[in-house]
Amino acid sequence: MNGTDASFVTEFVRTLDRNARLILMLHYAEGLTTNEIALVLELTEEEVVARLEEVRTQTREAVQQQASTA
């Protein structure tokens, strides 16, 4: 991922809802497991896993779309 992609992803993450951003931050920046995130956010682990997978897919698709238009 080059600097342009990183900037795009940063901007994309800012468009996500609060819970999605928190899940990403807790998982990738703080290193929490999905179970730990579920406890912190008072969600089920299944909800956290599903949301994390959804955000990963959305991010991947957005980066691919951005790359194809660049």
Q: How many domains does the chain have?
A: 1
Query: What's the CA gap between 8 and 43, in Å, rounded?
Result: 29
Instruction: Name the token pair of 60.
Output: 């991947």
Structural domain of 19: 3-69
| pLDDT at residue 16, as a whole number | 93
Pick from 13, 5, 14: which is nearest to 65 by CA? 5
Instruction: Name the token pair of 69.
Output: 């238009």
Print pLDDT tens along the chain (70 aa). Answer: 555 577 888 888 899 999 999 999 999 999 999 999 999 999 999 999 999 999 999 988 888 888 788 6
Which pairs from 27-30 meet CB under 8 Å and 24+ separation? 27/52
| pLDDT at residue 33, as a whole number | 98
What is the CATH number for 49? 1.10.10.10
| pLDDT at residue 14, as a whole number | 92
